[in-house]
């Protein structure tokens, strides 16, 4: 489990660095690679306690928005 968390932290740093770059300078393949990195990051974080906490918060927010619309 420690390896998964360390890899997730590394991917988070890479994501932040890639997203700080100017958007005009990106190629389509560069954007696709960023999306792939973000997907892998999501898969690594999802089973952790942090990922479950985010899932619960987003779920409660979605329920609140749905109930407010009714």
Report d(CA 11, CA 21) in Å as an integer: 16
- Between 6 and 66, the more confident residue is 66
Q: What is the dihedral of CA 39, 6, 48, 46, to 10 degrees?
A: 0
Task: State phi, psi for 10 to the nearest 5 degrees.
Answer: -60, -45
pTM listed for this prediction: 0.59
Kindly give, in sequence order, each residue whose CB lies less than 8 Å from that of residue 51, ignoring residues fewer than 6 positions away.
42, 45
pLDDT, one tens digit per residue, over 10-41 is 888 888 888 887 767 668 888 888 888 888 88
């Amino acid at each position: 489990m420690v390896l998964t968390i360390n890899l997730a932290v590394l991917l988070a740093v890479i994501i932040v660095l890639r997203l700080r770059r100017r958007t005009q300078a990106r190629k389509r393949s560069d954007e696709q690679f960023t999306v792939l990195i973000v997907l892998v990051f999501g898969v690594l974080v999802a089973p952790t306690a942090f990922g479950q906490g985010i899932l619960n918060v987003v779920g409660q927010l979605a329920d609140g928005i749905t109930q407010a619309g009714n």
